[in-house]
């Protein structure tokens, strides 16, 4: 699973998936597939089987998970707030299992009412180093010819119709 | 069949009537169907068919233009073409991922393409014989694709619709760079004007065929529209395209290869002559000008990449064992 942050003040958002034999190649594929255009300041890749998801309906039926104090680890918490939206980061919790992490998230982020919760251990994530952000993402910023605004075809067509020639 | 009520359809498709009714109600409310949700087997089958064909089209679609990268007439055009072909590779990836969310595997989809069992857009089985063909592909072929994809961006299956939103944005760059090229050459030297006229003459009819058979001959349309996968018919999209393109191409001084083309005052539509469907079916069945060449190039590329896949897998295993 690929997550992308578009700016320093933006949340990290689920962007799609890539196939790769390991995290390092997943990162390279993710950059080529998802960041051919700006903007990105951070890219994360997480193995799909490390992500635990629960819908509101499933939560209603779920057994309470034991919050063992021993062996707590950091979990990232993501949530999907509408059918159309991408899953986005809401924060981080400490928990002993993915199930416990979802239940901790419900308490910690009680003001949020998502359709889905996604949690995964922080240790499962490969992120680009911040020093890599410039070489990884800035090249796309200068390739302005990839932007449709570079091609003034509407103005050109109007000139052809009005004057029978280009200006 | 697909105008029928939900109970009859449930019987014909061997689905639970209540589940099917709930599913159709969700679509009617404009909800997106997501990968884990219940869906009729036929919905899944149709989506895998469409999305994988679409993915194959993006991948094979790199070939006609890719051949011109080393022959681009300026550095600017070379950069544009490189970026465009790279985009098509990315679009293929988005779409294969979307199909995978429905349970299709990458391997079976790629094998189906390489074995010649899978379809892809018939348009890529024509040759690009001059540089101006790259402009014609951008303006006509990508322009036609955008109309179809703008519709699919609203489709009921979440992953497909989200892939389409991203693809449409990038395709607009593809269309406009092609349109800019055609406009400039159409106002250029006599040689450039002749090259553009020749390119449009060859690409016009195959582009109109891209929208698929007439509605009366389109076997899948009913169910696709009922379940919100398609929201408009082949003929509606084709008519929109014709209405957009004819006045613009004529303003460029280009003559379309259709003596029957005329404006219908009553409906406000441009009417074309009859489309040669024999040609369409022949190309689709593998007998177009470049089918064999395209498949040979795809197989060669896959074989040439074998060592890369093997090395990547071996490297991952080695790292895991450390």
- Inter-chain residue contact A16 with B97, CB threshold 8 Å: yes
What pLDDT, on the 0 to 100 scale, is given for residue A95? 93
Mean pLDDT within B285-294: 92
Residue B5 lies in a domain: no
Handedness of CA A133, A136, A138, A140 (dihedral sign): negative
> B40 lies in which domain range?
32-321
Q: Any idea how long chain B is?
A: 322
CA distance B22 to B321: 49
Residue A75 dihedral angles phi and psi, to the nearest 5°? -125, 135
> pTM, whole model, 2 decimals?
0.89
Q: CATH number of the domain that B260 lies in? A: 1.20.1260.10
This model of the complex carries an ipTM of 0.85
Residue B2 lies in a domain: no
User: Rounded to whole angstroms, what are the CA distances from A70 to A73, A74, A76, A95, A96?
Assistant: 9, 13, 19, 9, 7
Summarised one tens digit per residue, pLDDT across range B94-153 is 999 999 989 999 999 999 999 999 999 999 999 999 999 999 999 999 999 999 999 999
DSSP state of A123: G
Summarised one tens digit per residue, pLDDT across range B185-204 is 999 999 999 999 999 999 99
DSSP state of B272: -
Residue B233 lies in a domain: yes
**Residue A22 is nearest to which of B31, B34, B319, comparing CB atoms?**
B319
- The domains of chain A are located at 2-163
Binned at pLDDT 50, 70 and 90, residue A111 comes out as: confident
CA distance B110 to B322: 32
- Inter-chain residue contact B177 with A143, CB threshold 8 Å: no
- Percentage of chain B exceeding pLDDT 90: 83
Task: Burial-class residue B54 by CB neighbours within 10 Å (0-12, 13-18, 19+).
Answer: buried
Question: Which residues in chain A are closer than 8 Å to B163, comparing Cβ atoms?
Answer: 16
Domain tally for chain B? 1
Tell me the longest C-alpha to C-alpha distance in chain A: 79
Residue B180 lies in a domain: yes
Q: Using omega within 30 degrees of 0 as the cis cutoff, is the peptide bond preceding B183 cis? A: no
Token pair of A43 as six digits: 């890219």
Residue B25 lies in a domain: no
Taking a C-beta distance cutoff of 8 angstroms, is the pair B35, B101 a contact?
A: yes
Q: Which residue is associated with the tokens 């989200």?
A: B162
- Inter-chain residue contact B162 with A86, CB threshold 8 Å: yes
Taking a C-beta distance cutoff of 8 angstroms, is the pair B89, B58 a contact?
A: yes
Residue B290 has pLDDT above 80, yes or no: yes
Taking a C-beta distance cutoff of 8 angstroms, is the pair B163, A139 a contact?
A: no
Summarised one tens digit per residue, pLDDT across range A80-90 is 988 777 899 99
- Inter-chain residue contact B315 with A153, CB threshold 8 Å: no
Summarised one tens digit per residue, pLDDT across range A136-162 is 888 878 888 999 999 999 999 999 999
CB-based contact, B2 to chain A, within 8 Å? no
């Amino acid at each position: 699973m690929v997550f992308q942050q578009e700016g320093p003040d933006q949340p990290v958002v689920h962007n799609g998936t890539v196939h790769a034999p390991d995290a390092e190649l997943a990162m390279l594929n993710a950059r080529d597939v998802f960041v051919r255009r700006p903007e990105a300041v951070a890219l994360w890749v997480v193995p799909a089987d490390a992500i635990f998801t629960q819908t509101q309906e499933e939560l209603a039926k779920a057994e309470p998970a034991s919050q063992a104090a021993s062996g707590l680890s950091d979990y990232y918490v993501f949530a999907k707030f509408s059918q159309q939206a991408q899953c986005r980061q809401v924060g981080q919790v400490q928990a002993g299992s993915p199930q416990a992490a979802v239940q901790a998230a419900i308490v910690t982020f009680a003001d949020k009412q998502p359709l889905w919760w996604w949690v995964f251990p922080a240790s499962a994530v490969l992120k680009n180093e911040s020093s890599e952000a410039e070489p990884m993402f800035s090249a796309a910023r200068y390739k302005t010819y990839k932007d449709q605004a570079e091609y003034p075809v509407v103005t050109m067509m109007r000139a052809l119709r009005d004057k029978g020639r280009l200006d | 069949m697909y105008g029928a009520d939900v109970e009859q359809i449930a019987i014909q498709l061997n689905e639970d009537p209540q589940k099917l009714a709930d599913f159709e109600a969700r679509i009617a409310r404009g909800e997106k169907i997501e990968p884990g949700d219940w869906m009729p087997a036929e919905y899944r089958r149709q989506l895998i068919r469409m999305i994988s064909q679409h993915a194959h089209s993006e991948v094979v679609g790199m070939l006609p233009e890719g051949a011109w990268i080393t022959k681009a007439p300026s550095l600017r055009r070379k950069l544009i073409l490189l970026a465009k072909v790279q985009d098509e590779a990315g679009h293929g990836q988005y779409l294969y991922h979307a199909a995978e969310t429905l349970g299709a595997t990458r391997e079976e989809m790629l094998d189906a393409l390489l074995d010649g069992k899978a379809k892809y857009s018939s348009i890529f089985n024509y040759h690009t014989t001059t540089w101006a063909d790259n402009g014609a592909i951008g303006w006509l072929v990508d322009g036609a694709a955008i109309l179809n994809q703008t519709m699919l961006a609203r489709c009921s299956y979440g992953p497909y619709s989200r892939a389409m939103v991203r693809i449409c944005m990038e395709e607009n760059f593809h269309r406009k760079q092609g349109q800019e090229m055609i406009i400039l050459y159409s106002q250029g030297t006599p040689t450039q004007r002749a090259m553009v006229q020749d390119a449009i003459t060859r690409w016009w009819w195959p582009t109109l065929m891209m929208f698929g058979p007439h509605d009366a001959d389109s076997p899948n349309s009913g169910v696709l529209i009922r379940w919100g996968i398609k929201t408009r018919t082949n003929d509606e999209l084709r008519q929109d395209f014709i209405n957009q393109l004819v006045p613009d191409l004529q303003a460029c001084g280009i003559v379309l290869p259709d003596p029957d083309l005329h404006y219908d005052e009553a409906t406000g539509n441009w009417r074309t002559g009859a489309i040669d469907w024999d040609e369409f079916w022949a190309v689709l069945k593998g007998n177009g000008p470049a089918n064999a060449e395209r498949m040979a190039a795809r197989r060669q590329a896959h074989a040439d990449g074998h060592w890369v896949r093997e090395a990547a897998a071996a490297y991952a295993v080695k790292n895991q064992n450390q």
